[in-house]
Structure formats: C-alpha cells, structure tokens
Amino acid sequence: MQLKRILPTSLFLVALAAACLTPAPTLEERTYAPPGPALARVAVIPFYAHRSYEGSSRLGGVSAAVATDRTTRHVVEALTANGIEVVPEEELDAVIADMPRSNAAIDAKVFADLAGRELAATGVILGEVIRFREPRGASPAARRPASVAYQLTLYEVPDAYKLWTGRFDETQVIPPQRDDEDPLELSTSVDWKSADEIAIRGADAVAKALVRVR
C-alpha cells in the first residue's frame, strides 16, 4: 500500500519538473488602442536587426540577414494560422523591394502610408530581432542553450498610430546538473531546442495575444 501511494506522487513530481522546464512563452505586451480594425489585413514588413543585435557566430549567433528572414517568416505563418489575413509576400515585395530602410521606428510612417495605398492593408507590423542564437557547440556536451529575442509593433494604417507592442525574450531552460551526474550524460539527455523552435513559440504567442485583444 505504501508503494502504491509513493509511486503516483513520484510520477506527479516528475511531470511537474518537466512542466517547469517548458514554461509559457515569455511575451511582454502593451495595448495602446483596440487593434481590431487594423488586423483585418496586415502587412508584415521584413524584420530589422536591432542596433544591438547579438549575432556572434562564436556564441552560436547567426547573421542578421538569416535571423530577420526567419523571424519574419515565423510571425507571418503564426498570424495566418491564427486567422489573421496577411498581405502575401509577393505583393509586399513588389511594393517595398527597392525602398531604403532606416529602422523600424523611423520607417513606420512611410510603410503605414504605403501599405494602405498600395496593398489595401489595414495595419502594418514592424519588428526588430535582438538575439537569435543557436545552441553553442557542435558536440552533445554543448551547454549554452538557444536564445531568441525580438520586438514588434502593430501600427494603424495610414497614420502609423501605435496600437500594440510585444517583446519576446526566451532562452531554453536546462535542468541543473546533479553532483553525481556526468556533464556529457546530462547534455545528451536534454532535448536541445533550436533558435527557430524558440522563435516559433514566440510568434505563436504574439498571434494569440493579438487575437485575444482585437
């Protein structure tokens, strides 16, 4: 009888520990005005690299061009999957391909006006990638986990009024090493996440947050 009572408790603790290692996506958000009308048809401008972008390959980072492209794609796919219409990439490229770009805050007015006139968009999203880092090292003993951070803003068209902002910042949580545990054994038992997997979690959190507040 005692064993039967202990076993379920042990299983519960194991499940609880696993849940703690997979926390909810870390998204900080702020709503300035109801974004509902702006979400009817959204133009997602390709993300920028933040001025402090962490892309050192020595630390597992990737180039700014790769990071911004992947993050843009993940956000577009998440919005679409959550029922928000997004201006198709080919339509967007035809209008903005040759436009000079400065940074997200400065360019918001230009893109908001253009998206309304040329793309029949009701809202425009501009964002910046701050960090996009893969697990460090090629061996299973790599101990530096993937880490991703980006921020984005939804603007009204055509006046570029700020409606909503979100900032996602997450690093994979690795369980602490026990005193009697070999580091290599711990590393091989961890389900190492890629930067893309983490970025996708953030994009899904962004899309769900916008659906919730619209």
- Give domain status of residue 82, yes or no: yes
**Single-letter residue type at 88:** P
Contacts (Cβ under 8 Å, ≥6 apart) of 167: 27, 28, 29, 149, 150, 151
Supply the pLDDT for residue 201.
97
- Give domain status of residue 11, yes or no: no
% of the chain beyond a pLDDT of 90:
63
- Give domain status of residue 39, yes or no: yes
- Give domain status of residue 21, yes or no: no
- Give domain status of residue 16, yes or no: no
In terms of residue numbers, what domain contains 43?
A: 26-213
**49-68: average pLDDT:** 82
Q: What is the CATH number of the domain that holds 194?
A: 3.40.50.10610
pTM of the model: 0.82
By the 8 A CB rule, do 150 and 104 touch? no
Most confident of 59-63, 99-103, 152-156, 192-196: 152-156
Number of folded domains in the chain?
1
